[in-house]
Chains A and B, each alone.
Chain A
Amino acid sequence: MITKVDLVDVAGGNLGSVKRCLDRLSVEYNLVNPGNLPDGSRPVILPGVGNFGAVMGNLQREKFDQRVKELVESGTPYLGICVGMQILFDYSEESDSAGMGILPGKVVKFRAGKVPQIGWNSIEAKQEKWPNGFVYFVNSFVAAPEVSSDVLYASDYFGDFCAAVRRDNITAFQFHPEKSGEFGQQLLVNWLNGVSNSEGVAPRILNKTLASQGVENAD
């Protein structure tokens, strides 16, 4: 399992609980921000809570968003959480602003039910090797990916919605694994394992990157 990650600290909100969760999993983190850019040698976790436009605005300082996009497109494993998932897409209805445009689709507001959705919802895996279970959500907006094979988990809140995506080296959860009890921690471990073993996505690029940085256990 990968034991060191770059944790993006510009998005506020749940950073503290993600740190605590990584501590519980014995995963070290290196904080990255516009003043300390990620170098691509470690997987990147971008947690985010709050307003889409505000998070994007923070990322755009010092062109940090471009650096993140560059890394993701060159194969660095990326885990987005909550708004960290939404910013992967082209556009969000929230604050009517553009995202990083890495995955095709837009972010839309829930059309029914009490908003925000707050609480535990069941998620159903759409890709192999990911378990079904209950996770904790706090969100008013959801991503609607254009490419259906990008969907990792589906869930239902007054209609189906996309709870997580996974494509190549990109994984992102709309829910909060760091607040989803043992099951949530298991999903993070799954991601960390997928990143470091041969069944993980984009392992070739990752291994090359890690090897070039002299990182051990890159297989």
Chain B
Amino acid sequence: MLTKRIIPCLDVKDGRTVKGVNFSNLRDMGCPVELGLMYESQGADELMFLDITASVEGRSAMLEFVERVADKLSIPFTVGGGVSSRDDVTALLNAGADKVSMNTAAVRRPEVVDEVATQFGSQCCVVAIDARKKTDGDGWEVLVKGGRETTGLDALEWAKECAKRGAGEILLTSWNRDGMQNGFDLEMVKAFSETLSIPVIASGGAGNPESFVEVFQKASADAALAASIFHDRIYSIGDVKQAVKNAGISVRY
């Protein structure tokens, strides 16, 4: 039986791992390659590296970083952040990333999803969606530019369109929960995982191992991603897996 995946996320800025609350107030968490290796040895199923460097110099440094990660890790990893074209995707995959995640660029020009999926396959094409509960009415709306800009797009409709265009997975981050550590947005994750025909990675709000149990059991997430609780050494990947396993959910151990 396919297992539920636990994915630590490392936000990388200028070669360091950082983490903020609601996409701001960044704190330094250490060397991302070392952290990644530590998570692999703890039993992480995949890793997510999010490049939050804005500069051009930072981008070429990111490719070198991806190569270093690929040399060391023997589990899959995804790279996202500022990926805006097929050329960016080609460079990251060539550097050794297994999957590439696109966010703002896909909203700006949805055809890039088709292009990447056609050229490299759906398996490496992740679309990241930052979503916030709509203030007027049901559902969630898509935010871009790290949560700084609203789009008016309905997030679930956008996710369906991405799947249709060839995305292989949706990384769904709750802007309301990000960094809050009060649990995943179960209502939102459930709506997405039960509607979409592709896997949904829940993100935003993990506070303890119980958060993961809930998001798998009550919201049918295929995978769950977290940063702070792992980086702060509050819980290890092993603690989370133990709790998930004890709840009778299939995990790799």
Chain A residues near B76: list those with CB within 8 A: 136, 176, 179
| A120-B252 CB under 8 A given contacts A20-B96, A178-B74, A179-B75 | yes
| A179-B45 CB under 8 A given contacts A16-B70, A114-B222, A120-B5 | no
Chain B residues near A180: list those with CB within 8 A: 74-75
Question: Which residues between 125 and 151 of chain A lie within 8 Å of chain B, taking CB atoms?
Answer: 134, 136-138
Q: Are A118 and B74 in contact (CB under 8 A)?
A: no
* Bound-complex Cα distance A126 to B74 (A): 25
**B122 interface contact, C-beta 8 A:** yes
Give 9 pairs: A residue, B residue, CB < 8 Å, sorted on A: A114-B196, A116-B123, A117-B2, A118-B169, A118-B222, A119-B223, A136-B75, A179-B98, A184-B74
Q: Are A181 and B40 in contact (CB under 8 A)?
A: yes
The contact string, 1 if C-beta is below 8 Å from chain A, for chain B 182-207, is 00000000000000111100000000
* Bound-complex Cα distance A23 to B73 (A): 12
Q: Are B98 and A118 in contact (CB under 8 A)?
A: no
With a 10 A CB-CB cut-off, give which of A20, A21, A51, A181 has the most chain B CB atoms. Answer: A181
Question: Which residues between 91 and 111 of chain B lie within 8 Å of chain A, taking CB atoms?
Answer: 94, 96, 98
Q: Are A122 and B3 in contact (CB under 8 A)?
A: yes
Chain A residues near B234: list those with CB within 8 A: none
Measured CB to CB, the nearest residue on chain B to A16 is B96
**Distance between A103 CB and nearest chain B CB, rounded to angstroms:** 24
**B56 interface contact, C-beta 8 A:** no
The contact string, 1 if C-beta is below 8 Å from chain B, for chain A 167-202, is 000000000101111101100000000000000000
Q: Find B168's partner among A116, A156, A157 (CB 8 Å cutoff).
A: A116
Q: Are B75 and A114 in contact (CB under 8 A)?
A: no
* Bound-complex Cα distance A122 to B196 (A): 24
Question: Which residues between 120 and 141 of chain B lie within 8 Å of chain A, taking CB atoms?
Answer: 120-123
Q: Are B121 and A115 in contact (CB under 8 A)?
A: no
Q: Are B74 and A185 in contact (CB under 8 A)?
A: yes
Q: Are B197 and A115 in contact (CB under 8 A)?
A: yes
Q: Residues of B with Cβ closer than 8 Å to A?
A: 1-5, 40, 45, 70-71, 74-76, 94, 96, 98, 120-123, 168-169, 196-199, 222-223, 252-253
Q: Are A17 and B96 in contact (CB under 8 A)?
A: yes
Chain B residues near A136: list those with CB within 8 A: 75-76
Q: Residues of A with Cβ closer than 8 Å to B?
A: 13, 16-17, 20-21, 23-24, 49-51, 113-122, 134, 136-138, 156-157, 176, 178-182, 184-185
Q: Are A17 and B98 in contact (CB under 8 A)?
A: yes
Q: Find B121's partner among A50, A156, A157 (CB 8 Å cutoff).
A: A50
Chain B residues near A182: list those with CB within 8 A: 74
Chain B residues near A138: list those with CB within 8 A: 123
| A119-B96 CB under 8 A given contacts A49-B121, A180-B74 | no
**Distance between A156 CB and nearest chain B CB, rounded to angstroms:** 5
Q: Are B40 and A114 in contact (CB under 8 A)?
A: no
Q: Find A21's partner among B1, B74, B98 (CB 8 Å cutoff).
A: B74
Chain A residues near B199: list those with CB within 8 A: 114, 118-119
Q: Are A119 and B5 in contact (CB under 8 A)?
A: yes
Q: Are A119 and B2 in contact (CB under 8 A)?
A: yes
* Bound-complex Cα distance A16 to B95 (A): 8
Task: Known pairs A20-B71, A121-B2; list 8 more (Cβ under 8 Å).
Answer: A114-B222, A118-B168, A119-B4, A136-B75, A176-B76, A182-B74, A184-B74, A185-B74
With a 10 A CB-CB cut-off, give which of B45, B74, B120, B122 has the most chain A CB atoms. Answer: B74
